[in-house]
Amino acid sequence: MIEKKQQIFNKLGLHARAAAKLSHLANMFSADIYLIYNEDKVNAKSLLGILTLAASVGNEIMLQAAGADEQEAIRAIGDLFDRKFDEEI
Amino acid sequence: MAKDVKGIQLTRVRELNQLKITRAFNEKWLPNLVRHPRPQRPGLGLTGYLKHIQDGRIQIFGKTEAGYLSNLKEEEMGRCLKNYFSLRLPGVIVAENIEPAGEWIAMAARYATPILVSELHTAPLISRLSAYLYQYFSKKIKLNGVLMDVMGQGVLITGASGIGKSETALELVNKGYQLIADDVAEFYIDSNDDLVGRANEAIKNLMEVRGLGILNINDIFGASAVLEEKKLNLVINLEKWDAKKKYDRLGEDNQCFKILGLEVPLINLPVGPGRNLSTIIEVALRNFLAKKSGRLTYLEACQAASTLPPGNREGAGGETT
C-alpha cells in the first residue's frame, strides 16, 4: 500500500465534474484507491463518495492505493490533481 | 472509520425546530458546549444533592423544578440556585413555556449558564432532544454500498465497484422501494442500540447510474421513493460468480456483518448471467421476514420432522411453506 499527500489546486475543488474525472480515472486501475480527508475515507472509484468529502481548493487530501498497479494509479491521479483536472489554463 | 464528537453548542440546539424553543436568556453563553447525549433533570440536585449532576449535560426544568423553587423562601432559593449553577452546567431548557424567575436568570448569568424556554412538555422535550443528541454524539461510520428500504427492512447492498449495486437499487426503486443513500451510507448507533443509516447531505436523494449520470430520485420518482434514514436489518453483498466457490445451497448459512460492535445478518449473493438481482433480493427479504417471524427453514423443518414418530411425519413440513 502506498500513500501520497495531494493538494487541491483547481478553483472549484472536488465538485461533480472533477469527481467524475477522478472516479473515471480510478476505475482504470485494478488497485483499491481511497481518498482521505478530514478523517473521512472514501473509495476513489465512487463518484458520490468523492462528493461527500466536499473538499475545496487549497485543502490537502491523502491518496491511498493498494494493489498491483498502485504506483501507476497514484502517479496518474496525482497528475490529474496537478493539472487542475484540465479545467483551467 | 469511526469518529468521536466533542460537543455541540447550545446555539445549534436552539435552532432545532422540533424543540420549539421560544426564547433565550443569558444569550452571551449560548456557545457553551453540551458534551453528553443524555439530557438531565436536576430533581434532587436543587435540594443540594449534587453528586449525580454531571458536567456537560444539558439540564431540563419542568413543573417540578419550577414549583419546588418557587415554594422556597427567598434566602433558601438563593442558596439552592447558587450551589446548583456554580457547577457551571452548559445550559438549562425550561419546558412548558414556564417563565424563568428573575433569580434563576441572575444566578445562571453569574455562572455563565444560558437558559432556553421551550413550548414542549418535559417528556417530549427530553425524547426529542436525546434522539438528536444521540445521533450527534454517536460514533459514525461510512460504508460503501446502497442503503434501501425493502419491505420495511433496511438493506445495505454492498460489493465491488462496478458490480451493479446502483443498477440493482434502481430496479428496486422502480418496483416501489425506497432509497436512503447510494454509494456511501453513514451509520450511527441510536438510543435503542440500533444501527441507523442515512445519506451525507451532499448526496441525499442522488443515485449514480453509469450511462445516465447522477439522478435525483426524489425528482424522478417522487418523495415516496426516498427516505431520510433507516435502521439496518440486513446486508446483501454482491460478488462475482466464482465457479470454485461454495455457495449456500440449503439456506443454512448464518453469516454476520460486524460493524461498530453490532452484528447484522449478511447474505452473499453471487452475480451471474440470468440472475435477476432485484427479484432475488425481494425473495431474500421475504425469506428473512419469514425466518424472523419464527417460520422454520426447509432444513429445520426436515430435522423437526425426523424427530417425530413415523406416523406423524406426513405434513410436518406443511406449516413452513
pLDDT tens readout for residues B200-216: 888 999 999 888 889 99
Q: Any idea which residues of A carry the catalytic annotation?
A: 15
Q: What is the pLDDT of residues A4-51, one digit of tens each?
A: 999 999 988 899 899 999 999 999 999 999 999 988 888 999 899 999
To probe the interface with A, which of B165, B203, B205, B207 has the most A CB atoms within 10 Å? B203
Q: Which residue is listed with cell 428473512?
A: B288
Contact B144 A47 (CB under 8 A): no
State the angle between helix axes of A70-82 and A16-26 in degrees (0 to 180), rounded to the nearest 10: 160
Stretch B231-246: mean pLDDT: 89
Question: Cα dist. B261→B30, B133, B188, B242, B288 in Å?
Answer: 35, 20, 11, 30, 22
pLDDT-wise least confident of A85-89, B140-144, B285-289: A85-89
Q: What percent of chain B has pLDDT over 70?
A: 94
Number of helices (H) and strands (E), helices first, in chain B? 9, 17
CATH number of the domain that residue A81 is part of? 3.30.1340.10
**Cα(B138)–Cα(B36) distance, integer angstroms:** 10
pLDDT band at residue B311 using 50, 70 and 90 as cut-offs: low
Domains of chain B as residue ranges with CATH: 8-137 (3.40.1390.20), 140-293 (3.40.50.300)
How far from B293 is each of A68, B164, B282, CA to CA, in Å? Answer: 47, 31, 17
Residue B206 CA, distance from chain mean position: 21
Mutation to test the A interface, candidates B170, B183, B209, most A Cβ within 10 Å: B183
Query: Which residues from chain B sit within 8 angstroms of residue A38, using beta carbons?
Result: none
**Are B61 and B42 spatial neighbours (Cβ–Cβ below 8 Å)?**
yes
Residues of A in contact with B205 (CB under 8 A): none
Task: Decide if pLDDT at B321 tops 60.
Answer: no
From CA B84, how far away is CA B113, in angstroms rounded? 11
Chain B residues closer than 8 Å to A27 by CB: 161-162
- Chain A residues at the B interface, defined by Cβ less than 8 Å, are 16, 27, 39-43, 45-49, 51-52, 54
Q: Would you call B203 and A52 a contact, using CB atoms and an 8 Å cutoff?
A: yes
> Considering chain B, what is the average pLDDT of its residues?
88
Say whether pLDDT at B270 is over 50: yes
Rounded CA-CA distance B201/A25 in Å is: 25
Q: Which domain holds residue A34?
A: 2-86
pLDDT, average across residues B132-145: 86
Q: Is the ipTM of this complex over 0.85?
A: no
pLDDT for position B254:
81
The pLDDT-based confidence of B1 (bands split at 50, 70, 90) is very low
pLDDT at residue B274 in the model: 81
Least trusted range by pLDDT, from B30-39, B102-111, B311-320: B311-320
Q: Is the pLDDT of residue B197 over 90?
A: yes
Asked if B184 and A54 come within 8 Å (Cβ–Cβ), the reply is no
pLDDT value at residue B191: 77
pLDDT bucket at B3, cuts 50 / 70 / 90: very low
Task: Chain B: give the shortest CA distance to residue A87, in Å.
Answer: 20
Domain count, chain A: 1
Measured distance CA(B173)–CA(B148) in Å, rounded? 9
Inter-chain touch B182–A41, beta carbons under 8 Å: no
Express each pLDDT in A39-88 by its tens digit: 888 899 989 999 999 888 999 999 999 999 999 999 999 999 999 998 86
Q: Enumerate the residues of chain A whose CB falls inside 8 A of the CB of residue B184.
A: 42, 46, 48-49, 52
The structure's pTM equals: 0.75
Average pLDDT over residues B20-39: 93
> What interhelical angle do B165-174 and B277-292 show, nearest 10?
70
Residue with the larger pLDDT of the pair B242 and B158: B158
- Specify the pLDDT at position A19: 93
Dump the DSSP string for B113-150: --EEEESS-HHHHHHHHHHHHHHHHS-EEEEESEEEEE
- Measured in angstroms, the CA of A76 and the nearest CA of chain B are apart by 19
Contact B58, B91 (CB under 8 A): yes
Task: Calculate mean pLDDT across residues B152-170.
Answer: 91
Residue B204, pLDDT score: 94
Nearest-CA distance from B24 to chain A in Å? Answer: 34
| pLDDT surpasses 70 at B148 | yes
Contact A52 B182 (CB under 8 A): no
Is there a contact between A47 and B202 if contact means CB atoms under 8 Å apart? no
B216, B202 Cβ separation under 8 angstroms? no
* Residue B131: partners with Cβ closer than 8 Å, 6 or more residues away: B190, B191
Which amino acid would we find at residue A53?
L
For residues B74-84, give the mean pLDDT: 90
Grid cell 454476520 is found at B256
